């Protein structure tokens, strides 16, 4: 309290000046129409500017939530449309034994091979040698290990671990993961992996040098990796060369998925995956 009195005493002239200025301004504004109008116009502009800035700041978060909600709804609508087209046989790509659309496929007997879910990314890394993604859905939501993960029909990764409410995804930007991939234009296939250097470049391996390759060629899934349907976009060839003393190209591919902007992803379940695994696990002796 003594310190407060000392402060008032020390600066009493300044406080008195401010008090008189405030009183004078109040009298001028109260008894003069022009000054009153000017004062309120200025104060309204100041307060309005503050509100506008605050509103814009808050809208950043509002827009993010709206975009997330729209992405989820779009994913669900896309799935419903795909299932409708497959059910009616309209607009689907037919191969010798399947009817295919990105994210959903059916075999010739019209049984659903793939099931499609959506999830939100809650953690993601791109600058490690072994990058992973965490999703906000788990066993309770029907997520299983070995489900393929895509974003807008573009390959992102594979589910490796699942808890009750969350799941862990090994990213395509993980040097320990490989996926079967092919050049869409000519169907030559190889193995696609990441060398751990640049998140904007992955590598397509085992393509023989006699195969016609050019920059801009689209790289897609082969379907040999059973977690993904055939034809999902992986990326675009950005550079290639023939390795010294090698019969194969060194091919650089720019990923189709934007790994720095993953918000909503799709999870693809191959309902026949366990059957395929059991069959492939049988050795030559039939055991």
> Are residues 57 and 184 both part of a single domain?
no
Residues 30 and 124 both lie in one domain:
no
Residues 163 and 264 grouped into a single domain: yes
Same domain? For 219 and 130 the reply is: yes
Q: Is 221 found in the same domain as 151? A: yes
Q: CA-CA distance, 123 to 259, in Å (whole number)?
A: 11
Of 22, 45, 63, the domain-final residue: 63
Residues 146 and 265 in one domain: yes
End of a domain among 28, 45, 63?
A: 63
194 lies in a domain?
yes
Contacts of 138 (CB under 8 A, 6+ apart): 162, 163, 164, 165, 166, 167
Q: Which residue has better confidence, 281 or 232?
A: 232
For residue 68, tell me if it sits in a domain.
Answer: no
pLDDT score at 11: 66
Q: Does residue 60 surpass a pLDDT of 90?
A: no
In a domain, 100, yes or no: no
Whether 73 maps to a domain, the answer reads no
Q: Are 129 and 175 in contact (CB under 8 A)?
A: yes
* The pairing of beta strand 179-183 with beta strand 218-221: antiparallel
Task: Write out the E strands in 91-186.
Answer: 93-94, 98-101, 104-107, 114-124, 130-135, 148-151, 154-162, 167-174, 179-183
Average confidence (pLDDT) over 165-193? 96
Q: Is the per-residue pLDDT at 75 higher than 80?
A: no
**Is 8 inside any structural domain?**
yes
pLDDT digits (tens, 9 = 90+) for 185-243: 999 999 999 999 999 999 999 999 999 999 999 999 998 888 888 899 999 999 999 86
Are 154 and 55 part of one and the same domain?
no
Using only C-alpha atoms, what is the Rg of the chain? 31
Burial pattern 268-279, b for ≥16 Cβ within 10 A else e, equals bbbeebeeeeee
Which position has the higher pLDDT, 133 or 24?
Answer: 133
- Overall pTM surpassing 0.95 (yes/no): no
**CATH number for position 269:** 2.40.10.340
- Confirm whether 242 is domain-assigned: yes
| Residue 161 and residue 253 share a domain | yes
Could you tell me the residue range of the domain that residue 216 belongs to? 115-281
53 and 151 together in one domain: no
- Residue 99: per-residue pLDDT: 31
Q: Are residues 145 and 43 in the same domain?
A: no
Q: Is residue 106 one of the residues assigned to a domain?
A: no
Give the confidence band of 92 by pLDDT, cuts at 50, 70, 90: very low
Q: How many independent structural domains does the chain possess?
A: 2
Q: Residue 200 domain-assigned?
A: yes
Domain boundary among 37, 63, 89: 63
Asked if residue 156 lies in contact with residue 169, where contact means CB atoms within 8 angstroms, the answer is yes
Let me know whether 140 and 258 are in one domain.
yes
Are both 152 and 55 inside the same structural domain? no
Q: What does the block give as tokens for 225?
A: 């990796």
The whole-number pLDDT of residue 96 equals: 31
């Amino acid at each position: 309290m003594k310190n407060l009195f000392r402060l008032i005493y020390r600066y009493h002239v300044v406080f008195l000046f401010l008090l008189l200025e405030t009183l004078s301004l109040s009298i001028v504004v109260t008894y003069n129409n022009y000054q009153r109008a000017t004062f309120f116009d200025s104060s309204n502009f100041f307060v309005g500017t503050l509100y506008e800035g605050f509103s814009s700041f808050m809208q950043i978060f509002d827009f993010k939530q709206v975009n997330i909600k729209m992405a989820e709804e779009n994913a669900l609508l896309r799935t419903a449309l795909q299932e409708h087209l497959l059910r009616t046989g309209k607009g689907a790509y037919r191969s010798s034994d399947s009817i295919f659309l990105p994210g959903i496929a059916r075999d010739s007997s019209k049984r659903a091979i793939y099931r499609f879910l959506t999830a939100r990314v809650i953690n993601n890394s791109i600058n490690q040698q072994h990058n992973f993604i965490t999703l906000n859905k788990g066993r309770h939501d029907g997520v299983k290990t070995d489900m393929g993960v895509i974003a807008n029909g573009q390959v992102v990764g594979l589910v490796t671990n699942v808890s009750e409410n969350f799941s862990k995804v090994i990213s395509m930007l993980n040097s320990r993961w490989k996926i079967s991939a092919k050049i869409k234009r000519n169907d030559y296939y190889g193995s696609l992996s990441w060398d751990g250097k640049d998140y904007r470049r992955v590598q397509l391996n085992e393509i023989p040098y006699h195969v016609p390759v050019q920059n801009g060629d689209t790289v897609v899934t082969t379907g040999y990796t059973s977690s993904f349907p055939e034809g999902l976009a992986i990326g675009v060839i950005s550079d290639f060369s023939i390795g010294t003393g090698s019969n194969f190209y060194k091919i650089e591919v720019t990923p189709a998925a934007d790994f720095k902007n993953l918000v909503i992803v799709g999870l693809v379940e191959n309902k026949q995956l366990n059957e395929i695994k059991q069959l492939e696990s049988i050795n030559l002796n039939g055991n």
